A and B are shown apart, each in its own frame.
Chain A
Amino acid sequence: MLTFKHGTIEIVVDEDGFMQEPEKWNEDVAKALATTEGVEELTPDHWKLVHYLRNYFLQFGVAPMIRKLCKETGFDLKKVYALFPSGPAKGACKVAGLAKPTGCV
């Protein structure tokens, strides 16, 4: 386990930078995590994606299908990658405080 520090934020992350205690997530944590993904500022589009992921995760305990995410947010994959260069799983999910996806995904 590693400690990630950014400003006043201090959280425990795994070796890929995913939160280990997802319940400690808040918007300031998201902003801090975004810097590790090369995203300096979270725009309203970023937040739309992050909140969709966060809400789905809180409801179901896993990340949504990528296609579902695109449909529900109205963003195509290209847009998702433009927002989070590492992509929906490794980038957007990380910023939304989800655990690292498991299985063959």
Chain B
Amino acid sequence: MFEILKSIISRMNANYADIRYETKKETKITFNGKELNQIGSNTTDGYVLRVLKNGGFSSIAFTKEADAEKAIKSVLENARLISKNIKKAVEFAKTEIIEDKFLPELKEDPRMISIDEKLELTRKYNGIPLKHKGISTTNIQYLEVIREKYFVSTEGSEIREDLTTTRINGLITSKDGNLIQNVRAGVGGSNGFALLRDKEEEFEKKTGIALELLKAKPVNGRAYNVILNPSMAGVFTHEAFGHFSEADLLEDNPSMREKMQLGAKLGSNVLNIIDDPIMPDQLGFYKYDDEGVEARPTQLLKDGVLVGRLHSRRTAAAFGEPLSGHCVAEDYRYAPIIRMGNIFIQPGTNTFDDLLAELKDGLYILDAKGGQTSGENFTFGAQYGYIVKNGKINEMIRDINISGNLYKTLQNISMVGNDLVLCQAGGCGKGQLNIRSCHGAPHIIIKDVIVGGV
């Protein structure tokens, strides 16, 4: 394959070109309620060609090898068009030339497990909620995605890397009359099939919550002091802060860039945030990004001060900051963009009980249910929560969405727990879907958060 790829880029009359070929094997097993809805494995493949010519940078994705000539012509035309229409030429930060084959060791390679065994395990977890009368349905899916990547650049890099993602996750839905509640349940990761085994407890726990939610009260919408559990605090870190550490979102947004200057004191002193894609065994793990840059841990916030940023080669040059190896594509249909790997709030020293005592009165909000940001404002949902009175957890509440201003909220984080947890299944939709987007945090306290009730 490398020879075919080298032959394609050797035909490029450009300052720089790279090409990535990938096969993507997807295995899906889906249950809707007790019915098996889908099962099967399929492999697709394609190419992404990128070119830098006279300061114009463009990319094209194509699926047929026979379209290579057409693709070369189009991408060069597009680069020329950009070059003619921009004032400041695009440059790439210098990176090490890498020749490597990296096939990570897995704890049970899912390729070696029969589809029957995958089906039985999924059926077993799906069956746990369905034993209960109040559960109206489930949507539980086994998903395995194996990307085999080949990367070649005109600078001489030649990299082979595999990314294997496995998970069993989905929704458990409870219903009482017209009231419908659902809870997400799931296990998964990037280091093999073994981590899916013996996870009955997760599905039992989430079933219990789905049933309890039928009796929970809707929260009253207003501002509260809150404790976020690691899942919620992780989504906050990803959505509200993490995206604005991605330099491509800032590059041409002068007003955001102004606020996100390195050295700016953005958060309270207790807040430290890092993105570390090479943390072993975590969902977001990779060695090289899709520009052939070696991934490296990047400290983003240190004692509340912005000290780093996630970069592509293009943005690292434009900002004059170090490369971080965070330019990643969903698959062969996309040119890479800047993504988080494993982003998390680094743990402090306080126990959960310390946090409850500090909060006194407020809400304890658990388990994220999707989030979104538009710069300084963010919104995300929680699956359930509890009212906290005088440091004690009281009744369950539902229909919780929180919203806030990034900068005010970072300043309002008053305590960070010592119990870091990273997520096992991801799904960040920044133009492309990143199923390995991993985030985490310990429990944290945030003061004065808007909670929208229904």
Q: Do A and B bind each other?
A: no
Q: What residues of chain A have their CB less than 8 Å away from a CB belonging to chain B?
A: none
Q: What residues of chain B have their CB less than 8 Å away from a CB belonging to chain A?
A: none
